[in-house]
Amino acid sequence: MQTATKHWDTYQDEAVTEYTIENDNGVKLAILSWGATLHKLMVPTDKGDKNLVLSYHKMADYLDNPFYVCMGIGRTGGRITRGTFDLGGETVHVDANEGQNTLHGGPHGFNTVNWVGDLDTTDPEKARIILTHTFKSTDDSFPGDLTAKMIYSLDNHDRVTLTFEATSTALTLFNPTLHVYFNVGDDQLIAGQTLQINSQEHLDLDGEKLPTGKMVANVGTPYDFADGQNLGKAIRGLQDIPEKGFDDVYHVVPGTDDTIAKLSDPQSNRAVTIKSKRNGLVVFTANSFTSDMKLTVGAGQPYMGIALEAQGLPDSQNFPAFGDVKLAPGETAHDEIIYDITY
């Protein structure tokens, strides 16, 4: 188990640090301090290392588009309708950043700050990158000052564990995620890859991609990934909708080992299995990526990656049946996403 820290870039006059862990199998995990961004997840191949996630060359490129590529998301993942919800008997308004709605924690969310990082190498079988930041209510408009941690670990079983921890000075919301985009194959696009999701239904969304509170059955439609489905076929089945691909929220039921989804590539035999105890998975097939995106693998284009964001169902504070994401003062929130890598 090896670790390294280096200056990666400067953004808004702040130094952006890259923290790297390499396990005994040659798998490498690289995290950037700005946005707690998953910059690289490298696996060895006979042609050299392969990055399983999309990334950029510069920090500005991560932030000069609306796609949150591999960045930390919080306090809440997904959209809050009109930036308004009831909390503790009071109506709360938070800052909007997508029309009248609040997306991914709003304009001052987890992706917008430079986190303080530290490396923990006390365990010989795994190493951890611990990122910490306090989000002041006066900055991000959510109730309470939230001290948050995003802790990435890599072990010798090729397992990446992302732990979210938080405490707040007042009753608030906490439903974080990682907006990670995977491409586990060698092709430029994800069309040849297979996705399986432990889900029988997805959220009904309106024209602003806001939940209506209803669910739509997946069976018999391109949305059905219960038994695994080729992504190219599934995307072709959605060419008659405006998105021409997936931008959807699945209601998932974690398996006995907390598995909620698996993305695999039949050609390379690479795969990532996603494990979470929460009930939501956002699936976005990069339908609206544009050619001015300067990704490390080339210019942006639709379907070059798939975002798989494990979280509680979004806007649950307005739809209590979706779950409870409230965090009381003095309590510590703890959520976890595990990415099991095979190659």
**In sequence order, what E strands does 232-342 have?**
247-252, 259-265, 270-276, 280-284, 294-295, 298-299, 306-311, 326-327, 333-342
pLDDT at 114: 98
Q: How many residues are listed for the chain in this entry?
A: 343
Instruction: Please identify which of the residues 104, 202, 251, 309 carries the catalytic annotation.
Output: 309
194 forms beta bridges with 230, 264
CB 18 within 8 A of CB 6: yes
pLDDT at 17: 98
Query: What DSSP string runs through 203-218?
Result: EEE-TTS-EEEEEEE-
Residues 6+ positions from 233 with CB-CB distance below 8 Å: 222
pLDDT at 209: 96
Distance of alpha carbon 174 from alpha carbon 165, whole angstroms: 9
Distance of alpha carbon 223 from alpha carbon 202, whole angstroms: 8
The CATH number given to 2-342 is: 2.70.98.10
Cα torsion angle, 183, 53, 75, 148, sign: positive
DSSP 8-state class, residue 126: E
Distance of alpha carbon 294 from alpha carbon 11, whole angstroms: 17
The values of phi and psi at residue 71, to 5°, are -100, 155
Closest residue by Cα to residue 32 from 113, 138, 134: 113
pLDDT at 122: 96
Determine the residue type at 197. I
**In sequence order, what E strands does 12-62 have?**
14-22, 28-32, 37-43, 50-51
Beta strand pairing status for 172-173 and 294-295?
Answer: unpaired
The pair of three-digit structure tokens given for residue 177, joined into one six-digit string? 């995620």
Upstream peptide bond of 82 is cis (omega within 30 degrees of 0) = no
pLDDT at 131: 98
pLDDT at 172: 98
Closest residue by Cα to residue 147 from 331, 293, 303, 23: 331
pLDDT at 124: 93
Distance of alpha carbon 47 from alpha carbon 50, whole angstroms: 8
CB 50 within 8 A of CB 42: yes
How many Cα neighbours within 13 Å face the side chain of 33? Answer: 21
**Radius of gyration of the chain, Cα coordinates, nearest whole angstrom:** 19
The pair of three-digit structure tokens given for residue 290, joined into one six-digit string? 């544009």
* Distance between first and last Cα of the chain: 19
pTM (two decimals): 0.97
Distance of alpha carbon 320 from alpha carbon 72, whole angstroms: 25
pLDDT at 333: 98
Low-confidence residues in the chain, pLDDT < 70:
none
Whether 179 sits among the annotated catalytic residues: the reply is: yes
Closest residue by Cα to residue 244 from 204, 207, 202, 288: 288
CB 158 within 8 A of CB 25: yes
Instruction: Please identify which of the residues 104, 108, 179, 202 carries the catalytic annotation.
Output: 179
CB 231 within 8 A of CB 266: no
Segments making up each domain of the chain, as ranges: 2-342
